């Protein structure tokens, strides 16, 4: 749970800002040291009585959490280019109110250039020339900013550090799409991504959304063939399935804890089918264990991504029914938790023509609305829309 929600009543922010502001404005060369100090102060404060103030970082930007997040996915190219203006217009002329912006994208690059001397300078790309200016514009327009950080799918880090990846016959392993992953067992990989998330929080993002928090698909079929380390999990009892689930779940808990001093919410994208199983054994995702350590859970429930499921032979042809049936399952899973996170699923705003004739619909306003209605009819009030090209359907009614 984010510090924002835990300590709002205590009124800790004013005192914390006055204490931390000198550290925030210190010279660049001591930035990492100060981050460590902030975290140490926070962890010390957690042991104090609840009435004591907590330490919290102030980015200087202020955003109100919307009545309900209704957002869209935005690439670095879009956020840093001409499309940003049209997306902002979409926010201002509809009931959409949030943008999920790539900060660390699917290949492993940052979508902006960090300061020279940053350990991440070599993975920076100038897609977004001035991230702070983008966030200030979102603040002016009351658009809630969410930073997407792709975690374990990272071809760049895998090629740079094969020891942190999976190797096959001495080469970094890649899947059929040429994508490589880094190893969720390795604590160094955790910190690599958490530190990037912290930088996003310091820039002013109000939420960190971790994506690809998992092992590669089908990993259970290769885990005995590939060469990789198991870190602190090597001596654990249990089979490889339980170790994978432990590693992924522990990363989420660790990342949430490390981000608490920065007053951001934490969300995780997860495969929709993970909620329909006790756990997804190959990729290491356990829906309940991940949900216990985040503020928001975002299941990817695009109808096109399901085969025959819930008794629906061709799910892409039945967007309402697919989302409705999924929602019932997820609601039951979240009801098992003492403090369930907000459910904010990813919905489909693209046409899956690759499914072949007779297996897909051309998705537009009606199909998007059908998915949204299915959520509302099942008590789920938040959602995100996915379109890889960031071109979203016109004329959609986004409200209940």
Q: Summarize pLDDT for 350-387 with one digit per residue, the tens.
A: 999 999 999 999 999 999 999 999 999 999 999 999 99
Confidence tier at 169 by pLDDT (50, 70, 90): very high
Using the predicted structure, report yes or no on whether residue 18 has a pLDDT greater than 80: no
Mean per-residue pLDDT for 211-232?
Answer: 93
- Tell me the CATH number of domain 64-386, given options 3.20.20.80, 1.10.260.40, 3.30.420.40, 3.40.50.10800: 3.20.20.80
Q: What is the pLDDT of residues 42-71, one digit of tens each?
A: 555 555 555 555 678 999 999 999 999 999
Using the predicted structure, report yes or no on whether residue 35 has a pLDDT greater than 70: no
d(CA 216, CA 76): 24
How much is the pLDDT for 56?
84
Using the predicted structure, report yes or no on whether residue 41 has a pLDDT greater than 60: no
How much is the pLDDT for 251?
98
In the block, tokens 């590693």 appear at: 247
How much is the pLDDT for 49?
54
Using the predicted structure, report yes or no on whether residue 347 has a pLDDT greater than 80: yes
d(CA 262, CA 23): 14
How much is the pLDDT for 36?
59
The HSE-up count of residue 104 (CA atoms within 13 Å, CB side) is: 29
**Strand 383-386 with 265-271, pairing:** unpaired
Using the predicted structure, report yes or no on whether residue 15 has a pLDDT greater than 50: no
DSSP output for 342-363 = EE--EEE-S--GGG-TTS----
Using the predicted structure, report yes or no on whether residue 323 has a pLDDT greater than 60: yes
How much is the pLDDT for 30?
45
The gap between the terminal CA atoms of the chain, to the nearest Å, is 27
Looking at mean pLDDT, say which of 44-48, 52-56, 184-188, 218-222 comes out highest. Answer: 184-188
The predicted model scores a pTM of 0.88
Mean per-residue pLDDT for 167-178?
Answer: 94
Listed as own residue / partner, the contacts of 309-315 with beta carbons closer than 8 Å and 24 or more positions apart are: 309/273, 309/276, 314/358, 314/359
How much is the pLDDT for 342?
98
Widest CA span of the chain, in angstroms? 63
Choice among 6-15, 56-65, 188-197, 279-288 with the minimum mean pLDDT: 6-15
Using the predicted structure, report yes or no on whether residue 305 has a pLDDT greater than 70: yes
d(CA 223, CA 381): 39
Using the predicted structure, report yes or no on whether residue 24 has a pLDDT greater than 90: no
Mean per-residue pLDDT for 26-46?
Answer: 51
Q: Over the chain, what is the mean pLDDT?
A: 90
Residues in the chain: 400
Using the predicted structure, report yes or no on whether residue 28 has a pLDDT greater than 50: no
d(CA 243, CA 284): 8
How much is the pLDDT for 21?
42
How much is the pLDDT for 235?
84
Q: Which two three-digit tokens encode residue 360? A: 């897909």
* 286: number of Cβ within 10 Å: 22
Nearest to 57 by CA among 195, 254, 260: 260
Q: What is the pLDDT of residues 74-124, one digit of tens each?
A: 999 999 999 999 999 999 999 999 999 999 999 999 999 999 999 999 999
Query: Would you say 31 and 71 are in contact if contact means Cβ atoms under 8 Å apart?
Result: no
Mean per-residue pLDDT for 6-28?
Answer: 39
How much is the pLDDT for 239?
87
Q: What is the pLDDT of residues 126-165, one digit of tens each?
A: 999 999 999 999 999 999 999 999 999 999 999 999 999 9
How much is the pLDDT for 152?
98
How much is the pLDDT for 238?
81
Choice among 99-113, 235-249, 256-270, 332-346 with the minimum mean pLDDT: 235-249
Q: Where are the domains of the chain?
A: 1-58, 64-386
How much is the pLDDT for 8?
38
d(CA 349, CA 364): 7
């Amino acid at each position: 749970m984010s510090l924002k929600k835990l300590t709002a009543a205590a009124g800790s922010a004013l005192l914390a800002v006055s204490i931390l502001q000198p550290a925030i404005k210190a010279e660049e060369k001591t930035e990492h040291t100060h981050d460590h100090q902030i975290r140490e102060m926070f962890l010390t404060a957690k042991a104090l009585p609840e009435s004591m103030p907590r330490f919290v970082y102030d980015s200087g930007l202020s955003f109100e959490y919307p009545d309900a997040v209704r957002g869209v996915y935005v690439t670095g190219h879009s956020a840093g280019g001409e499309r940003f203006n049209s997306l902002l217009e979409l926010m201002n002329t509809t009931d959409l109110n949030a943008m999920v912006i790539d900060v660390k994208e699917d290949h492993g690059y940052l979508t902006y250039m960090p300061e020279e001397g940053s350990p991440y300078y070599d993975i920076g790309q100038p897609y977004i020339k001035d991230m702070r200016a983008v966030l200030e514009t979102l603040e002016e327009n009351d658009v809630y900013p969410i930073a997407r950080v792709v975690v374990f799918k990272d071809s760049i880090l895998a090629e740079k550090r094969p020891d942190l990846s999976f190797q096959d016959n001495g080469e970094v392993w890649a899947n059929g799409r040429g994508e490589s992953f880094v190893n969720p067992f390795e604590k160094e990989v955790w910190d690599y991504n958490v530190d990037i998330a912290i930088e996003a929080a310091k820039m002013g993002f109000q939420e960190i959304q971790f994506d690809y928090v998992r092992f590669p698909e089908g990993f259970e079929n290769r885990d005995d063939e590939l060469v990789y380390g198991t870190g602190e999990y090597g001596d654990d009892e249990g089979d490889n399935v339980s170790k994978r689930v432990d590693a992924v779940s522990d990363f989420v808990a660790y990342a949430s804890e490390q981000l608490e001093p920065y007053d951001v919410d934490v969300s995780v994208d997860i495969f929709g089918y993970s909620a329909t199983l006790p756990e997804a054994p190959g990729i290491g995702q356990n829906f309940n264990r991940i949900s216990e350590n985040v503020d928001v859970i975002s299941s990817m429930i695009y109808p096109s991504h399901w085969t025959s499921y819930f008794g629906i032979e061709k799910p892409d042809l039945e967007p309402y029914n697919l989302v409705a049936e999924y929602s019932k399952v997820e609601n039951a899973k979240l009801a098992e938790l003492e403090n369930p996170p907000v459910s904010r699923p990813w919905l489909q705003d693209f046409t899956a023509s690759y499914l072949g004739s007779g297996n897909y619909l051309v998705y537009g306003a009606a199909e998007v609305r059908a998915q949204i209605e299915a959520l509302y009819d099942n008590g789920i009030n938040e959602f995100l829309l996915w379109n890889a090209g960031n071109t979203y359907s016109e004329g959609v009614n986004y409200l209940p």
